[in-house]
Homo-oligomer: A and B are copies of this chain.
């Protein structure tokens, strides 16, 4: 296994085409802060499964197109090659490519819109990274969030598109808060919290993603579970909407915050874990506040809350006391965060 991995890495270094494929495979893995083509491949399988299970294979197609176009745009714009090879220009366009066919009706023009959106996502990634570099941060998935918000809100003004978000614009507090009864079947709910990171509602997809995390970083897999469980239980306690809760919609942002803050961007440890638990609560509150802000516009929060909460948690630059970590994050995003243009 290790020999195969090393062989692939050497091939990717020598052959530009294999290098491009390698970068594209690492894209889906970088959504969850992993730099591993096998993790990315498994996530592609997970998304394909979920798309087919929900009867919308074009969602998987959109993701692949977004991944290829976004990464190719970074090549054309001569983005930093080291970041490019790590898949850091693939993860946001991959998500944009999933989001566009999820929220817009199927028609040929949608695919042109998706391609323009993927190009825009890479331009916005380069732009926001320039800004966030000032404070030692990167744009995370915010380029995906901003670009997708723009595409959806512009679609309201185009006769040719229909927005399918199931969110009717209204005033906060007008909607029925509890759209369904919660069945207390919690394990699938937690797993759907993981799958919703990729806008997929499927516990099988969530399970495959956890395996994909596990083969690269046990800490990341553990904190993904902690994030999904913690945020879902907190939402349950405070009485958030049961229908959304069941779909895992209160889990996915906290999953990303927990991996980033608890496992990847700090050394895992006791103090860091306490900070991460607080971060999970912060992410949930920011998510529900952002949902209120977006209620009159009828668009979804996407992973905006994760980005906002994680920036707020990282900006104080508290260097928690080093603790022994049993699993080295070999080539972690920490350095990627530092070196990205």
Q: Once bound together, how far apart are the Cα atoms of A288 and B155, in whole Å?
A: 8
Cα separation A171 to B172 with both chains bound (whole Å):
12
- List A307-340 residues whose CB lies under 8 Å from chain B: 311-318
Chain B residue numbers with a CB within 8 Å of A282 are 116, 120, 123
Contact call B315/A130, Cβ cutoff below 8 A: yes
Measured CB to CB, the closest approach of chain B to A252, in angstroms, equals 16
Is B158 in contact with A238, judged by CB distance below 8 angstroms? Answer: yes
Count A interface residues, CB 8 Å. 65
Residue of B nearest to A136 (CB): B130
Minimum CB–CB distance from A206 to chain B (whole Å) comes to: 23
Report B-chain residues with C-beta under 8 Å of the C-beta of A163: 173
Name which residue of chain B comes closest to A312, CB basis: B127
Residues of B within 8 A of A157 (CB): 177, 240-241, 288, 291-292
Q: Which residues of B lie under 8 Å from residue A286 when comparing CB positions?
A: 150, 154
A239–B289 CB distance below 8 A: no
Given contacts A158-B238, A297-B293, contact A123 B172 (CB under 8 A): no
Contact with B along A150-175 (1 / 0, CB 8 A): 11111011111101000001111110
Rounded to whole angstroms, the CA-CA distance of A172 and B170 in the bound complex is 10
Quick one: which of A234-256 are within 8 Å of B by CB? Answer: 238-241
| Chain B hits for A78, CB < 8 A | 318
Chain A interface, DSSP helix/strand/loop, else mixed: helix
Q: How would residues 107 to 151 of chain A score, 1 for a CB under 8 Å from any chain B CB and 0 otherwise?
A: 001000000100110011011101100110000000000000111
Q: Is A296 on the interface with B (CB-CB < 8 A)?
A: yes
A134-B134, A169-B173 are contacts. A160–B315 as well, Cβ < 8 Å?
Answer: no
Q: Is the beta-carbon distance between A150 and B238 smaller than 8 angstroms?
A: no
A56 proximal to B (CB < 8 A): no
The reply to whether B169 and A239 contact each other, CB–CB distance below 8 Å, is no
Contact: B127 with A292, CB < 8 Å? Answer: no
Partner of A127, one of B153, B171, B238, B311: B311
Taking a contact as CB atoms under 8 Å apart, the answer to whether A171 and B169 are in contact is: yes
Binding site for B on A (CB under 8 A): 77-79, 109, 116, 119-120, 123-124, 126-128, 130-131, 134-135, 149-154, 156-161, 163, 169-174, 177-178, 238-241, 278, 281-282, 284-293, 296-298, 311-318
Shortest 3 CB-CB contacts between residues of A and residues of B? A159-B239, A126-B316, A127-B315
- Write 14 A-B pairs (CB below 8 A) sorted by A numbering: A123-B312, A126-B315, A126-B316, A127-B312, A128-B315, A153-B288, A153-B289, A154-B284, A157-B291, A158-B238, A160-B238, A169-B171, A169-B296, A170-B171
